[in-house]
Structure 1
Amino acid sequence: MSETQQPQRTLLAQLLMQKPIVRAYELRSEGIDPKTISRAVAAGELIRISRGLYQRPDSDIDTHQALAEAAKKVPRGVVAMVSALAYHELTDQMPRKVWMAVSVKDWSPSASSYPPVRIVEFRDRYMQQGIEHHTISGTRVPIYSIPKTLADVFRNRKLVDRSVAVEALRATLDQRRATPASIAEAAMAGDAWNIMRPYLEALTSNG
């Protein structure tokens, strides 16, 4: 191995300790060339998950790893809708694709690449509401909060069946994952209050 390859492989190992999942452009920006990446894959030091997306071979596999991979794939996206409900354990639905919200002006990835992603375009005012960050497989993943996600699934009734939205609302209240006040506030901010209000009132009624 040449003197230039050795430092790059060492640097690659150091980067993978910090980020178990990385994109090729992140490696290149740190000075690691494509040949070094290819050699690391051939040597089993790096696993190619999909085109331009790599993982450290000994990293722990998180049950939500697809969300981390989707976050790398759609850097300006936010995990949303049914995928956010599933992450928060508020639905039994297991989406085949990772739902990612993007601004209408942002780039959308190829639908054929891994992991499969379902893009939902949000207006800018909806994009910035209720974003939380969770660490999954060493990756900082933006995911919408529970109240924000409830507002989104109620507002987008053509995309998410109403029964899924209502059951998620019921689960949120039963598990005390969010207060009725915070849910109502997010629904008002997300233009979903008129749709959600009768369900929230029925589920919180003492009668």
Structure 2
Amino acid sequence: MRNSREQSVIELAKQMGTIRIKDLLERNIHPEYARRLVSKGLFIRSGRGLYVLADSEITEFHNFAIIGKRVPKGVICLTSALRYHNIGTQLPRKVWLALRRGSAQPHLSYPPVSIVRLSGDCFSEGVEERQIEGVTVKIFSPAKTVADCFKFRNRIGLEAAIEAARECLHGKKATSDEIYYYAKICRVWNVMRPYMEALSFC
């Protein structure tokens, strides 16, 4: 038989999807109750200090939900965002995460992340909020992601950036005008222009 504290933790997990130790402490609930629920098979420890209900649906983008909880101000970007939007063929081994320039470095033991730093409109524009496993996750839009791929082409590869632009346009995930808008913000239009012009005739 579960006590009232354990039931409170279960109800909280139903509301929030993934809960942190911090969420429990803010409600004056000792973390030991979450650990007890793990031992009873009712909870799963999905990451350091993170718990989900054992019968909850674990999606393909579970790692994004973990990051949404642990680094709520970060934005999923580059090939990870492409994967979420179903653009291209990239399968990143780490989650690409954008942080505001000058912000603190997150301490994440899991999932593995690759971090890029952005500032001003290049960080704040084109952000979408999606619900993944009950967690609000920030992800750059398809058009913004294409511009970012060219901005960080030296890290992900020029071929990946070109593929992102081609598949984004052909799949009607974004228009040329939308991509142009973010390319200007990211100051990469001069780099992108010949590729975008070539794609417009494909």
Which TM class, normalised by the smaller chain length?
Answer: over 0.9
Of 40, 64, 79, which aligns to 2:61? 64
The residue that corresponds to 2:112 in the other structure is: 116
> What are the superposed Cα offsets for residues 78-128 of structure 1, whole Å, 9 maximum, x if unpaired?
0011100111111211111111101122222335x1111111111233210
1:26 aligned onto 2:23: yes
Q: Note if contact 1:8-1:36 (Cα within 8 Å) is conserved in structure 2.
A: yes
After TM superposition, the score normalised by the length of structure 2 is 0.93
Q: How does 1:90-109 map to 2 (within 5 A)?
A: 90-109=87-106
Q: Which runs of 4+ in 1 moved over 4 A?
A: none
Distance (Å, rounded) in 1 between the aligned partners of 2:192 and 2:16: 40
Sequence identity, in percent? 38
Q: Secondary structure at the match of 1:159?
A: helix
How many matched pairs? 202
The residue that corresponds to 1:174 in the other structure is: 170
Shift of 1:20: 1.9
Distance (Å, rounded) in 1 between the aligned partners of 2:47 and 2:105: 17
Distance (Å, rounded) in 2 between the aligned partners of 1:63 and 1:182: 28
Q: How does 1:94-173 map to 2 (within 5 A)?
A: 94-110=91-107, 113-173=109-169
Unaligned runs of 5+ in 1: none
Q: Secondary structure at the match of 2:156?
A: coil
* RMSD, aligned CA: 1.6
Shift of 1:22: 1.7
Distance (Å, rounded) in 1 between the aligned partners of 2:100 and 2:107: 16
Distance (Å, rounded) in 2 between the aligned partners of 1:157 and 1:127: 17
Shift of 1:191: 1.0
Shift of 1:141: 0.8
After TM superposition, the score normalised by the length of structure 1 is 0.91
